[in-house]
Amino acid sequence: MAAEGRGGAGALRARALTGLVVLAALLAAMPAAAAEGNSGSSPGGTGLPLPRFASLRADEVNLRAGPGVRYPVEWVYRRRGLPVQIIAEFDAWRKVRDWRGTEGWMHRSVLTGRRMALVTAAEAVLRREPRAAAPAVARAERGVVARLLACAGAWCRIEARGFGGWVERAGLWGMLPGEKLD
């Protein structure tokens, strides 16, 4: 005689029925989720396009392993204004990527839509006009966080520490390739 295990045949049927109900619910939800995924936004999110950029609202922001306070903090950012790329949304949580490629989750309350850029070149020369021959007005070292004012073609207008000018886009992080900002 074969052993029936804990709960017997009735318990086995109940588990199978529960599994079928869960599977049916998931299959019913798939067309809606697929349609939302095609729009470039996340289910349960804002409906804004993904990916997009935001910046840190606070001087100290936790990056978590998952979308909730029960998930462990993997990194603490200590730089207000630092740009991050939002790559997914789940309720009030945003999955972000930083300039190094580190990914994790932040609560929407610690993010702002203010556009910022991070200087990634060894040195960025701010110019009076968006052309290489234009007079230099300032220089920004790698790691400077600047307000992103406009981008067109290979140039972006930034402002940092009271200085403003046009910088070659290739030396900045905080905008999508080819993105135009006015």
Q: How does pLDDT run across 156-180, given as a tens digit for each residue?
A: 999 999 999 999 999 999 999 989 9
Q: Span 62-73, mean pLDDT?
A: 98
Mean pLDDT value of segment 88-96: 97
Q: Where are the domains of the chain?
A: 9-38, 52-114, 117-173
Q: What is the predicted pLDDT for the residue at 162?
A: 94
Mean pLDDT of 69-92: 98
Average pLDDT for 51-72: 98
What is the DSSP annotation of 52-118? Answer: EEEEE-SSSEEEESSSSTTSPEEEEE--TT-EEEEEEEETTEEEEE-TT--EEEEEGGGEE---EEE
> pLDDT by residue (tens digit) across 4-57?
444 555 544 444 444 433 333 333 333 333 333 333 445 557 889 999 999 999
pLDDT band at 87 (very low <50, low <70, confident <90, very high): very high
Q: Are 59 and 25 in contact (CB under 8 A)?
A: no
Specify the DSSP class assigned to residue 153.
Answer: T
**Percent above pLDDT 90 for the chain:** 72
pLDDT of residue 43: 55
Three-state secondary-structure class, residue 16: helix
Q: For the domain 117-173, what is the CATH superfamily, name and number?
A: SH3 Domains (2.30.30.40)
User: Is pLDDT above 80 for 86?
Assistant: yes
| CATH classification for the domain delimited by 52-114, as one of 3.30.2130.10, 2.30.30.40, 2.30.30.30, 3.90.470.20 | 2.30.30.40
Rounded mean pLDDT, 130-151: 97
What does pLDDT average to over the chain? Answer: 83
Residues 167 and 151: their CA atoms lie apart, in Å, by 9
- Of 160, 181, 84, nearest to 169 by C-alpha is 181
Bigger pLDDT: 103 vs 2: 103
Residue 181 pLDDT exceeds 80:
yes
pLDDT of residue 96: 98
